[in-house]
Amino acid sequence: MNVVDSSGWIEYFTEGPNSSFFAGAIENVDELIVPALAIYEVFKWVSRERGETQALKAIAHMQLGEVVDLDSKLAIYAARLSLQSKLPMADSIVYATARTHEAKLWTQDDDFEGLDDVKYIAKKKAAK
């Protein structure tokens, strides 16, 4: 199973330099777990940068995976992970979602670097 954090989704949808790193996890929708929080973050970013029509297209693809809502059990687990790993709130929710589903977390967010079951790639600057 795979979880892609918001930075990975945005990289994929904008065809950024690391998009191929995320493509396999994103395109294998049968193995894809999508935190509802990622839908919020991606919709907001894509709407602001590319318009609501593009944001809705992005979200439609995200919803091909299994969307996981934040409930109290996941929230408490995320808070514990945040305390242990010093992760910010949103990152801890995404990480808790991955851990709960025994999934790999795909990211280019350096907050996750070195954590268990994380597939990390350093963010590259887009070519001009």
pLDDT tens digits, residue range 80-121? 999 999 999 999 999 999 999 999 999 999 999 999 999 999
Residues 23-81 have pLDDT tens digits of: 999 999 999 999 999 999 999 999 999 999 999 999 999 999 999 999 999 999 999 99
CA atoms within 13 A on the CB side of 63: 8
**Mean of the per-residue pLDDT values of the chain:** 97
**Residue 125: its pLDDT value, please?**
82
Going from N- to C-terminal start, the domains of the chain cover: 2-120
Domain range 2-120, CATH class: alpha beta
Residue 28 burial (CB count, 10 A): 12
Residue 82 and residue 43: Cα distance in Å, rounded?
24
Q: Which of 107, 103, 96, 85 is closest to 32 using CA atoms?
A: 103
**Residue 44: its pLDDT value, please?**
98
Strand partners, 107: 120
**Residue 69: its pLDDT value, please?**
98
* Packing angle, helices 52-62 and 6-13, rounded to 10: 120
Q: What is the dihedral of CA 59, 65, 71, 74, to 10 degrees?
A: -120
**pTM for this structure?**
0.95
